[in-house]
Amino acid sequence: MISETPRVRFAPSPTGYLHIGGLRTALYNYLFARNQNGKFILRIEDTDRKRFVEGAVENLLDTLKWVGLDYDEGPEVGGEYGPYFQSERLDIYKKYAEELIAKGKAYYAFDTPERLKQLREEQLKKGLQTKYDKFALTLSEEEIQQKLANGEPHVVRLNVPPDETVFVEDVIRGRVEFNTEIIDDQILIKSDGFPTYHLANVVDDHLMKITHVIRGEEWLSSTPKHVLLYEFLGWEKPVFAHLPLLLNPDKSKLSKRQGDVAVEDYRDKGYLKEALINFVALLGWNPGDEQEVFTMEELIQKFSLERVHKAGAVFNIEKLIWLNAEHLRSKPNEELLVMLKEEFKKSEYSNVDIDDEHLLLIIEAMKPRVEFVKEFITKCPYFYEAPTGYDEKVIKKRWKEDSPGLLKKLRDKFAQLENPAKEDYEKALNELAEELEIGKGKLIHPLRLALSGIGTGPGVYDIVHILGKEESIRRIDTALEKIKTPNTDSTEEK
C-alpha cells in the first residue's frame, strides 16, 4: 500500500557535476514535498560503475546544501528505508529479479557481445527496430541450469509480452499509450551482478514508499517498462510526472557542449543561490500570475504539478542575470558586506585597508548599479585606488576650457569644509554654481572625471563622501595636473 503522506525522491547518479536539469528535478520534488507536508528523499543511484566519478557524491551533497534543498532521508541523514546508496542494496535487487524469473516475467540470457552486435546489424539492414529477439527463451531449463553452473556470463532480461498496450498516467502529459511491440526486453541485472536503473529504481521506489515519481521527460519512454515491472511484481504504481526538456535559445537540448550546465559553474561565477533557485523554478512552471521574483517560501506556497507545462523550457541567461540583480538588491547591506569581504580577499585589492563602514557606504551607493557581488569591486575600482588614467571620450565631451579653473575653485570650497557630511559637499557645489552663475553640470562632470577617471557611476556626492575630503582633494589636484583640455568646438554645457 502506497503511503498516504506524499513521499518523493531525487535519485541522481554520481557521474560528476550536478546538471541544471538535475537541480530542476530536485527542486520540483522538494517544492512538491514541502507544499504537501510530505517527505523529500535523496537516493544515490550508483550502480553504473563505469560512469562512477570519485568525489561526485560529496560534491552533490555539498551543492544541494548550498542551494538549500535539505532532504528528510538519505546519505548522512539516514532514515528507516535505507541504505540510500543502490550499491549497498544488491541483494535486494537480486531477490526481486529471481522472483520475476520464477514468474516467467524475466529470464536469463547468455548471448555473447558478438551475437548481439550481429543481431543489431541485421535488424538495421532490414530497417527494423533494434531490440532483443528473445533467443534466450529457446533454451531449455536444463541448458539454463548447466550454463549457470558453468559460470557463463549472463544478464537477466525483462520478458515483455507481445502486442499489448501499456498505459502511463502522467500528471503533466495525461494518458500516454505504448505498444509493447516497440518495447525492448530490457536488461534488469547486468553481467557484473549490478542492476540497471530500470529494476533498481522500481524496487527502491516501492520499498521506500515513493508516492510520486517526478523526473525529466527523457525517462518517459522508459516508463512503460517500469509500469510492467510494477504489474509483474503486484505492486501499486506511483503517480508519474515527467518534466519538460530544458532547451537552449535555439531550441536544441541544453547540453555541456553549449555552455555551462553545472550548478557549480554558476556558483563559481557569483550567482546567488536564491536567484538560481528562482530561475530554475520558472523553467517549466509558472504561478499563474505576473510574479517573477520569488523567495523559497513563496515557491513552496505556490508550487503545484498541475502548473508545470509540457513544452520545453528555454534557458535564458539574461533572465538569470536579471533575477540575480533583483535578489541582490533585496538583501540587507550587512549580508552583502559579508559576501563582499569574501570577494575582496580574492581580488587585486586584497591588500587595500578599507573598513566595514566604508564598504557599507560603497554597497549602498552601488547597489542599484550591480548584478553580482563582485561588481561592487569591478565596477568601481576608483573606491579602492586612485585612477591612473582618464577616459578620453569623457574628456572630449565633459572637460572644457574653463573646467580646470572651475574645478580648482570647487577644490578650494571643499578644502574649507570641516568634518563634512555628504550633504555638505552638495551644498558647497550648489553655492559655487550660484556664485558663478553656471549650470551645476559644469562642476559635476569634471569632478566625477577627476575622482573616478570615468563618466558614469553612483552620485558624485556619494563618491566624494566615500573617498573623504583629503583623498578627493588629492585626486582633483592630480587631475588638474594630468588632464589636458582637448581642442573642441562643442557647445559649452549650461
One-character DSSP codes across 75-116 = TTTB-TT---BGGG-HHHHHHHHHHHHHTTSEEEE---HHHH
Upstream peptide bond of 404 is cis (omega within 30 degrees of 0): no
d(CA 390, CA 404): 14
* CATH class label, 7-80+196-247: alpha beta
Residue 198 three-state SS: helix
Q: What global pTM score does this model have?
A: 0.92
pLDDT of residue 490: 45
pLDDT digits (tens, 9 = 90+) for 24-37: 999 999 999 999 99
d(CA 17, CA 58): 10
Architecture field, domain 392-482? Orthogonal Bundle (1.10)
Is residue 269's pLDDT more than 60? yes
Is residue 491's pLDDT more than 50? no
Average pLDDT (219-227) is 97
Phi (first) and psi of residue 374, to 5 degrees: -65, -20
Report domain extents, the chain.
7-80+196-247, 91-189, 256-330, 333-380, 392-482
Is residue 1's pLDDT more than 90? no
C-alpha torsion angle, residues 87, 88, 89, 93 (rounded to 10): 40
What CATH number does the domain located at 256-330 have? 1.10.1160.10
What CATH number does the domain located at 91-189 have? 3.90.800.10
Q: Judge whether 256 counts as a catalytic residue.
A: yes
DSSP assignment letter at 344: H
Same fold flag, 7-80+196-247 and 91-189: no
Which of 117, 256, 346, 482 is labelled catalytic? 256
Between 190 and 15, residue with greater pLDDT = 190
pLDDT of residue 366: 98
